Structure 1
Amino acid sequence: MKYSDAGVNKEEGYETVSKIKDVVAATHSPNVLNGIGSFGAFYELGKYNNPVLVSGTDGVGTKLRIALDVKKYDTVGIDCFAMCANDILCHGAKPLFFLDYLACGKLDSDVAAEIVGGIAKACKETGTSLIGGETAEMPGMYQIGDYDVAGFCVGIVEKDEIIDGSKIKEGDAIIAIPASGFHSNGFSLIRKVFTDFHETWNGKPMYETLLEPTKLYGKTILGLMEEVELHGIAHITGGGLIENVPRILPKGLGANIKKSEIRVPEIMQELQKRANISQDEMFGTFNMGVGMVVVVPQDKVDTTLAKLKDLGEEAYEIGSIVKSDKEIELV
């Protein structure tokens, strides 16, 4: 017998490497000391005074199911990168390098190259090096045609510049930075409501709206940090504002957020209407159009909004920090 008799095609794996090596190499900075083929990837930190590495890992979730069903693979790699990189940005860390993990039942080098190409595109856009990864063909574990994607991002921040919410104080303002859509959360529910991915929505197939990739906030957050001292940053992922904002709050403080100020995207309003989903469930599951929030001193609100506008963001104030035993209230 041969390995291929068990369902593993080594030649397809070699072909995948051949198809991705150029786009991967294009993401490398001078800090990357080796290329594809080594057992480990080498990354030189460069000159820092007291550097702290910040890491994060995540996947795409069942949003991937839509991409697989409609055979559109070019955006989910962006989602994978964004979910990891946006998390470490919450601590003021600049993403340095990224590694990916791709698993499937039967490898198709064209599909794998599209997925990794999306990751490389996101890396290139944010100045992050894609320095390694793993492609695992596992017949019997995954159905033929199915893929799973996960990633690992490592960034860096000077120790005295770490943002961890400890500076948040009463009276600080909460600023919303818009999302690009559902991002990569809540898709198990989304798929139960929008069952026809090819239905027409606002003049295009529904799947195009649902597969809008998770927004990359690197340039926005790092650019804002150059001008404003940020007391806290929260990436609004699974659990929405309700679960993610409290993660950055010191004990004894709460977030008072005005629901009426939040600009909820039309597609989320449509989801709520079709399935008669309660407001509490919506705000506890989806980002509701808010991809990131930053907490800044009240006297820096105008400066923050102006800088964000310069960075291409239509940000807006949605609430404030108050003394409270309740971590968050949506009023």
Structure 2
Amino acid sequence: MSQRPSLTYADAGVDIDAGNRLVDEIRGPVEATRRPEVIGGLGGFGGLFELPVDRYRRPVLVSGTDGVGTKLRLAIDAHRFDGIGIDLVAMCVNDVLVTGAEPLFFLDYYATAHLDAAVAAPVIKSIAEGCRQAGASLIGGETAEMPGMYASGDFDLAGFCVGVVEYDARIDGSRLSEGSVVLGLASSGAHSNGYSLVRRILDVAGATLETRLGDQSLADALLAPTRIYVKAIQALLAQVDVQAMAHITGGGLAENFARVIPDHLAATIERSAWTRPPVFDWLADAGNVSEAEMDRTFNCGIGYCVVVPADQVAQAIDVLTGAGEQVFELGRIHARENAEDDAVRLV
């Protein structure tokens, strides 16, 4: 009678030692995101963060979670991983920022069939870079090796962010008033939305990531990391009366901005206020995509919106440009004539 072999976790496709080596490799970049409020280090069962209650009378925690969608498929196909983690952080912290909150800490979830440090390490290091840009600590995460759940070479990402804002300083659009001005901050490209359509356009047009778009490749244009607006907006909040903000993600400018406009008000946005970046023109042409579909799928060059009083526009633009942002005066807030009218109209 033959003796059955003794099976190990490695025989099932999970390499515990590889996971431990990955933790050692990313320890430095993760530590570089450390804020004074972080307690302990990597390796615990939970990330500890001391809430800075001495800075607040009535602190409100703001949470957000997101992924990067099928942009990840392009990154895997191009084998370019140094920006996708920034995308992950940006999608979460920019959402939290809309409330006026300061992002405090971030956690990530990385799931794959077989852990490959040559892929996982640059991804997680780019997550740490995104946290550094946002001023948030990367205090923990999970790396899950799940053979049979993912195809070989594939992986998925999710992110989780927590921020804090003073109760009386939270921003929700309720203080919007007629005559206030809408400012748009330039995006760095398609950010992390609309990539299922992007991939379909590439297929229909017979294009590849190596196809040239002016002086760059489509890979350069389509995999440019999502812009993180945290530090610029924090500088703005300290100096200007910001009445509302919106992160322009899936649904485009009109649908996202409409989420923060009260029922009695509306906004008219002038298309001529900014020039759509070339990558969006290429997508529209190569895919024969209508303007209406472009508007509701992509940010089309505006990644974030803020609304300020008319008498503070010049100061707001100075602050934002001084923080490195490209700013456009998009339009104004006005009364909504009928309840059935669109909250945001692009003209």
Q: TM-score, normalised by structure 2?
A: 0.93
Counterpart check, 1:308 vs 2:316:
no
Contact 1:182-1:210 within 8 A present in 2 as well = yes
Deviation of 1:4 after TM superposition, in Å, equals 1.5
Deviation of 1:148 after TM superposition, in Å, equals 0.6
Equivalent-residue separation in structure 2 for 1:146 and 1:89 (angstroms): 31
- Unaligned runs of 5+ residues in structure 1 are none
Deviation of 1:203 after TM superposition, in Å, equals 2.8
Counterpart check, 1:174 vs 2:182:
yes
Which segment drifts farther, 194-203 or 31-40? 194-203
Deviation of 1:205 after TM superposition, in Å, equals 2.6
Partner of 2:262: 250
Partner of 2:112: 104
Equivalent-residue separation in structure 2 for 1:231 and 1:186 (angstroms): 28
Deviation of 1:171 after TM superposition, in Å, equals 1.5
Contact 2:64-2:95 within 8 A present in 1 as well = yes
Q: What code does the residue aligned with 1:329 have?
A: R
Contact 2:93-2:134 within 8 A present in 1 as well = no
Contact 2:111-2:146 within 8 A present in 1 as well = yes
List per-residue Cα deviations over 1:185-221 (Å, max 9, x = no partner). 0011111223401122223332111110000101110
Equivalent-residue separation in structure 2 for 1:20 and 1:36 (angstroms): 10
Counterpart check, 1:277 vs 2:293:
no
Larger Rg: 2
List per-residue Cα deviations over 1:127-164 (Å, max 9, x = no partner). 21100000111111110100111100111111111011
Partner of 1:39: 45
Equivalent-residue separation in structure 2 for 1:37 and 1:130 (angstroms): 12
Deviation of 1:323 after TM superposition, in Å, equals 1.4
**Which residue, 61, 78, 95 being the options, matches 2:86?**
78
Counterpart check, 1:198 vs 2:210:
yes
Equivalent-residue separation in structure 1 for 2:212 and 2:279 (angstroms): 12
Partner of 1:66: 74
Equivalent-residue separation in structure 2 for 1:272 and 1:175 (angstroms): 25
Counterpart check, 1:330 vs 2:346:
yes
**Which residue, 283, 298, 304 being the options, matches 1:292?**
304
Q: What code does the residue aligned with 1:74 have?
A: D
List per-residue Cα deviations over 1:249-276 (Å, max 9, x = no partner). 1111111111222321011011111111
Counterpart check, 1:11 vs 2:23:
no
Equivalent-residue separation in structure 1 for 2:323 and 2:170 (angstroms): 22
The runs of at least 4 aligned residues of structure 1 exceeding 3 Å deviation read none
Equivalent-residue separation in structure 2 for 1:6 and 1:205 (angstroms): 40
Deviation of 1:110 after TM superposition, in Å, equals 2.2
List per-residue Cα deviations over 1:71-130 (Å, max 9, x = no partner). 111100000000000001101101110000001111102211110100101112232110
Equivalent-residue separation in structure 2 for 1:209 and 1:259 (angstroms): 22
**Which residue, 17, 30, 43 being the options, matches 1:24?**
30
**Which residue, 222, 228, 237 being the options, matches 2:234?**
222
Q: Secondary structure at the match of 2:289?
A: coil
Equivalent-residue separation in structure 1 for 2:215 and 2:297 (angstroms): 27
Equivalent-residue separation in structure 2 for 1:330 and 1:167 (angstroms): 22
Contact 1:107-1:137 within 8 A present in 2 as well = yes
Q: Secondary structure at the match of 1:284?
A: helix
- Unaligned runs of 5+ residues in structure 2 are 1-6
Deviation of 1:167 after TM superposition, in Å, equals 0.4
Deviation of 1:330 after TM superposition, in Å, equals 1.2
Kindly tell me the number of residue pairs found equivalent between the two proteins: 331
Partner of 2:192: 184
**Which residue, 98, 102, 105 being the options, matches 1:94?**
102
Q: Secondary structure at the match of 2:259?
A: helix
Q: Secondary structure at the match of 1:131?
A: strand
Equivalent-residue separation in structure 2 for 1:13 and 1:312 (angstroms): 38
Equivalent-residue separation in structure 2 for 1:248 and 1:162 (angstroms): 13
Contact 1:16-1:110 within 8 A present in 2 as well = no
Identical aligned pairs, as a percentage?
A: 47
Q: TM-score, normalised by structure 1?
A: 0.98
Equivalent-residue separation in structure 1 for 2:30 and 2:104 (angstroms): 14
Q: Once superposed, what is the RMSD of the aligned Cα atoms?
A: 1.1
